[in-house]
Amino acid sequence: MSETRTRGGGSRFLYEPFDRASARLEAHERVTDERWIALERRLEQIETGLERLERRLWFAVFGCAAFLAADVATQFLTFKS
- What is the full per-residue pLDDT of the chain (81 aa) written as tens digits? 455 555 556 666 676 777 888 888 999 999 999 999 999 999 999 999 999 999 999 999 999 999 999 999 999 999 865
In a domain, 70, yes or no: yes
pLDDT value of position 67: 97
Residue 7 domain flag: no
DSSP 24: H
Residue 3 within a domain:
no
State the total domains in the chain.
1
pLDDT at position 74, please?
94
Rounded Cα gap, residues 29 and 37, in angstroms: 12
Assigned domain for 54 exists: yes
Identify the pLDDT of residue 1.
Answer: 45
Burial class (CB in 10 A: 0-12, 13-18, 19+), 36: exposed
Q: Report the distance separating Cα 78 and Cα 81, nearest Å.
A: 10
Q: Is residue 9 part of a domain?
A: no
30 within domain boundaries: yes
Q: What is the pTM of this model?
A: 0.58
The answer as to whether 52 is a domain residue is yes
Determine, yes or no, domain membership for 62.
yes
